[in-house]
Amino acid sequence: MTHALLVIDVQNDFCPGGALAVAGGDEIVPGINAAMNDFDAVILTQDWHPAGHSSFASTYDAAPMSMTEMPYGPQVLWPDHCIQGSIGAQFHADLTTDRADLIIRKGYNPAIDSYSAFFENDKTTPTGLEGYLRTRGIDTLTLVGLATDFCVNYSAVDAARLGFDVTVDMKLCRAIDFDGSLAAAETGMRDAGVTLA
């Protein structure tokens, strides 16, 4: 059994001062760095959007955090964030990235958002992470990072659905908590068989 730490989107735009800041997003960095040594593998994910992405409110002159309907279902329209090559898309400066065996980028398809580390938001287009984990014999995952109620949640539920043993370390996550989204995410993760530690 091989146990990997999956570090979700600890990027400047999701930390205080960023375009889509998660309250306390930077507070978890020291704990994540310390945890890395306890795992057989460390994988980082990175939101990586082209400018004008279809999930950006500015693409439609809409209000940030409003909703729209995409071919794959409802979509939050976000402030422009994590644009490829930007300072905001970079990992938090204090995050230990040298320990990562793999960095997986997501959200680079302009037509579809990608919260999960495993699938784009159509829930069918894979990122390739599942294959990587299986070929390495990794069957147990602990997830940490940003944000609990979106990218961590979607990644954890998908991982459990794919048959991985999944834990979310809640003390090393922070949430947006948009309109009750944190409580809904916690219920959904538990229902999917994810352990919330």
Tokens of 92: 């938090």
CB-CB contact of 146 with 22 (8 Å)? yes
Query: Catalytic amino acids?
Result: 9, 106, 151
How many whole angstroms separate alpha carbon 62 and alpha carbon 41? 41
Q: What's the maximum distance between 2 C-alpha atoms anywhere in the chain?
A: 49
Q: What is the 3-state secondary structure (H, E, C) of 88-110?
A: CCCECCCCCCCCCCEEEEECCCC
Tokens of 61: 């002159």
In whole angstroms, how far apart are CA 171 and each of 30, 36, 73? 12, 15, 31
How many whole angstroms separate alpha carbon 129 and alpha carbon 95? 21
CB-CB contact of 147 with 139 (8 Å)? no
